[in-house]
Structure 1
């Protein structure tokens, strides 16, 4: 088995708000949600993703603990690490999460938010992601897409979009991510596949998955092929090249010119 991982911030001078862990038995990828407003927390999104990610990796290493229970407990433990912060703040730091655990007979997965798990099996390609975030604040998202990246109009529109998203975060009529309430773990997408049918596996933050949507430069099978031939660094380089060719978002409207990007590949 070969395991490779890469994670790169959108801006080399800024903290990476993604976090990843990968071994032959367990993969964990978190994508911290951009804070465009005050959060009530003095630690920041990078601290939150690293703290939560380490807790998930430690708990999910126990094959007898369901992945949903591991995530719920990790959220509890992370909240206990910063009790002086305002964990009830509407914008308390949050993250999307993907966990894949390889057992002797099965491959278990959990996805909460728009991270993506790709499984190339003898039965075909399985793509697991959570599109509920994309379905939230759609009017505000379309309004933000009309403005060039970096413009005052774009910044104002993104702030309106963020407030609309926060009003729907971790609500039955909205979307679910890991924040301070462990109940969010109960809304994750979970399942399993037979281990003996697995050929290749990848886990991507949405910054790495941009190569498929919105850029449409590869399909999911092409992503796995690129990961096989050039590794996670090669995939991220391809994403950065496309981003650099459209810095204002004129061809591919998006929130940020570049995004933190993380990819794990297991073959």
Structure 2
């Protein structure tokens, strides 16, 4: 598993190989992932970039069966690693990716999530090098997945990933709420004080928040051994003859909710011209705010990942 995690962290994106635990192979543009009686799911383009050179990329994306997905591993807060991997978050992202791949025959997103959660929890228990002493040490990840259901697109999301679906009728956006990001910005502004240093006070703040993950009265998130596989928000989007879906981690969707570089239709249009263009604007905005005053945040740049897929109707 450690080799697969390291390779996945270095790759820009991936789709699954057939063997369980095998290293995913790079995804080619316009790869056909699934075909039903009414529609075909293609991948168009994918991009994934670490927030800081030399650090593991803890995002991931992929597709298999009727599903495509995006995963955002949360930055680790433990003093010492739980797993033999580039980072605990990178390990979790790769483990979720492989579990989604292995169980892509699941009939519904809820079924896929339940199976993947059991598989990742078992792998975590088997592969960890020590037991966690605190809840904040357990790796956690946000995700969003889409499923081609023939006459509609099923979307399941947990955390702060987002998707934009565009067809002839317009654009619809799911996930990635401004309210959550506004709370995070307010929190960062109150404690970061124009710096990106992880001081003891900043670390204590982040750990207190992470301790709410899957705790009574807290928030649900994919975290092995503590998540029950439930609580994902489910959306259904009517499937037009042709529709594009742009799946994004929050580092890429920051172009909308953090930096107001685009509205959702504008970001989709820019992404359809190439995923690198919006990312370049995101990084330029972050570089210009090197003193962390205009856009308060906990790190200068986050990992950013986007996956563009197309649902094509089958002609009768």
Task: Say yes or no: TM over 0.5.
Answer: yes
Taking the aligned partners of 1:72 and 1:24, their CA distance within structure 2 comes to 17
1:73 and 2:131 are equivalent in the alignment: no
Larger Rg computed on CA atoms: 2
Any idea what the Cα deviations from partners look like across 1:10-57, whole Å, max 9, x if unmatched?
Answer: 122111000111469421111000112337612321011111112113
SS in 1 for 2:125: coil
The structure 2 residue matched to 1:113, chosen from 151, 154, 159, is 159
Q: Taking structure 2 as the reference length, what is the TM-score of the superposition?
A: 0.74
C-alpha separation in 2, matches of 1:108 and 1:255? 32
Alignment of 1:104-183 (within 5 A): 104-129=150-175, 131=177, 134=181, 140-145=187-192, 147-151=193-197, 155-171=199-215, 173-181=217-225, 183=227
Calculate the aligned-residue CA RMSD, in Å: 2.6
Matched, 1:95 2:137: no
Q: Distance in 1 between matches of 2:284 and 2:189?
A: 25
Unaligned runs of 5+ in 2: 1-41, 311-316
Matched, 1:246 2:293: no
- TM-score, reference length from structure 1: 0.86
- The equivalent position to 1:236 in structure 2, one of 245, 262, 279, is 279
Equivalent runs, 1:185-196 vs 2, <5 Å: 185-196=229-240
CA distance in 2, matches of 1:103, 1:63: 12
Query: What secondary structure is seen at the aligned counterpart in 2 of 1:211?
Result: helix
> Could you tell me how far apart the structure 2 residues matched to 1:161 and 1:98 are?
26
Q: Distance in 1 between matches of 2:306 and 2:265?
A: 15
Tell me which residue corresponds to 2:51.
10
Question: Residue 258 in 1 paired to residue 301 in 2?
Answer: yes
Aligned residue pairs: how many? Answer: 261
CA contact (8 A) 2:157 2:233 kept: yes
Correspondence for 2:247: 203
Cα distance between partner residues in 2 of 1:199 and 1:130: 20
